[in-house]
Amino acid sequence: MPLAIQLTGQAAKRGLIPRLLPPDRLLDEIETWLGAEYPDIVRSTRRQELPSGGAELLVGLHPAADDATFSVTDAGEMSLSAVTAAAGPGYHTFVGRMAQRLGSDVSIAWADGPPTVQAEGPATLTATPSPFTNGATPPAFGDRPTIERAHLARLGAAIAAVCDAYQRGSRRIHVDTPPGLRYTFDGVLATPLGPRDAAWLDSAVSDPRVAISLSPWWADATDARYLLNRALCLMWTEVRWRPPVGPAEKAILDEVARLLWRAHPLDPSLSYPWREWAELLDLRGVDEPLTADVREHAARSADEGLLVGYRRGPVTVDHEGWTLEIPGSFAERRSPEEWWGGEGGRSITLAAVETGTESGPMSAAGFLNQVASHLGSEALTHEAGELVGRARLGTDASSGVEVGVVEGFSAVRGRGAAVRIEFGDAADWQWALDTWRGLAPG
């Protein structure tokens, strides 16, 4: 298990006739409290029902961390789970203190015990059940030296694993980057704060504390370095580097600009991404008091090499065991059933499934015969090793506007995928067919 905070507790009964709040109402209170107390940290919230009853609230607190999860049952049993490894010990401390305050303000009695650190491999801090007073600082997230040692041990193990993979010939290794995506970059290692080359890897092996630079929230303070790193995580992994489409993309650009505006007055000496900052202002069409200074710095650093942003180049999507290379500028949506990506008159929808029969995994030809027979005898075919595919190139005017469409299927033994590629420019037909042919098992 990665280093994480895992707490359990009990919500208090309330009212003249003491009663537990229903799960949805308790999560309403938690969501409202988080938004009021940490408006600059909470990035997103979403709900989902639990199959066993109750509900959970998933809260995005940092662009380098998975959502923190608050779960509550009908009996008022609470749990908080937050993986803190990728963001760093500062994030670990923050989540713990947030939980402490939440317990006091929303009447949740957390249980807690001494932190335990796994002896070998990645470290984990967990809470073992024993009551404590909400006013106390729980040691599971109040013991900074223990937390820091656990993170350093985890980083050391990660660097050792990267070195081993690199020596065995692996390239473009990813550590702590968003799941389901692989980037194209120059160097050995992709991280949320940008790529690292072989020279950096050598220095990290010689001095493990060099690896601290992989953690965007190392110190407990929310200072200029924290703000800049938070902005850089977004710039490397989420910004599409084209004019924003829709409220969500505009909100990301606004968030980055807000973080940089706040960081600069606190510590002007930090290495700010001036060129990319100026580019974001142009993409968003905003003009702030520091705009002239940003543009001046950007002009002076015009020839300083690599630009921030993995999504300036192609990225590889992993979906249900299949991979597909797409432009990094594509917007994306993902569900358990389908992945969708697109921009500017191009779109791709991908679905995948495991295939089988009573006698075992289904053959690739068997899957295609089931799902692609309607393509007819004129269907295009594609083979690459054990992969077999069929597709049809046509048009679709059902929306009122005629668009080009590639309807394609690909399969290997035991697995199959379907893809629909739409394009508004007739010249994109070759791109659409090449994209279908590029679909491969992961």
Q: What is the DSSP letter of 325?
A: E
CA angle 105, 109, 114 (to 5 degrees): 120
Q: Are 112 and 140 in contact (CB under 8 A)?
A: yes
**What is d(CA 382, CA 72) in angstroms, rounded to the nearest whole number?**
50
- The percent of residues above 70 in pLDDT, for the chain, comes to 93
The confidence band for 218, taking pLDDT boundaries of 50, 70 and 90, is: very high
- Enumerate long-range contacts of 203-212, CB under 8 Å, 24 or more apart: 204/159, 205/159, 205/160, 205/163, 208/152, 208/155, 208/156, 208/159, 209/152, 211/152, 211/155, 211/156, 211/158, 211/159, 212/152, 212/155
DSSP run (H or E) holding 263: helix 246-266
**3-state secondary structure at position 143:** coil
- Tell me, what's the pLDDT at 163? 94
Q: What is the DSSP letter of 131?
A: B
Indicate the burial class of 138 (C-beta count within 10 angstroms; 0-12, 13-18, 19 or more): buried
- Tell me, what's the pLDDT at 119? 33
Q: Are 311 and 330 in contact (CB under 8 A)?
A: no
Task: Tell me the per-residue pLDDT of 156-182, one tens digit each, with 9 for 90 and over.
Answer: 999 999 999 999 998 889 999 999 999
- Tokens 């705009």 -> residue: 291
The confidence band for 144, taking pLDDT boundaries of 50, 70 and 90, is: confident
Question: CA dist 355 to 361, 367, 384, 388, Å?
Answer: 6, 7, 19, 14
**What is d(CA 137, CA 98) in angstroms, rounded to the nearest whole number?**
11
Name residues whose C-beta falls within 8 Å of residue 380's C-beta, 6 or more positions apart in sequence: 390, 391, 392, 393, 433
- Tell me, what's the pLDDT at 416? 98
Return the beta strands (E) in 269-379 as ranges. 315-319, 322-326, 331-334, 338-343, 346-354, 356-357, 360-361
CA angle 58, 60, 62 (to 5 degrees): 150
Torsions phi, psi for 305 (to 5 deg): 95, -140
DSSP run (H or E) holding 10: strand 4-11
- Tell me, what's the pLDDT at 234? 98
Mean per-residue pLDDT, 115-124: 36
The answer, yes or no, to whether residue 60 has pLDDT greater than 90, is yes
Task: Tell me the per-residue pLDDT of 81-110, one tens digit each, with 9 for 90 and over.
Answer: 999 999 999 999 999 999 999 999 999 999
The confidence band for 28, taking pLDDT boundaries of 50, 70 and 90, is: very high
**What is d(CA 279, CA 115) in angstroms, rounded to the nearest whole number?**
45
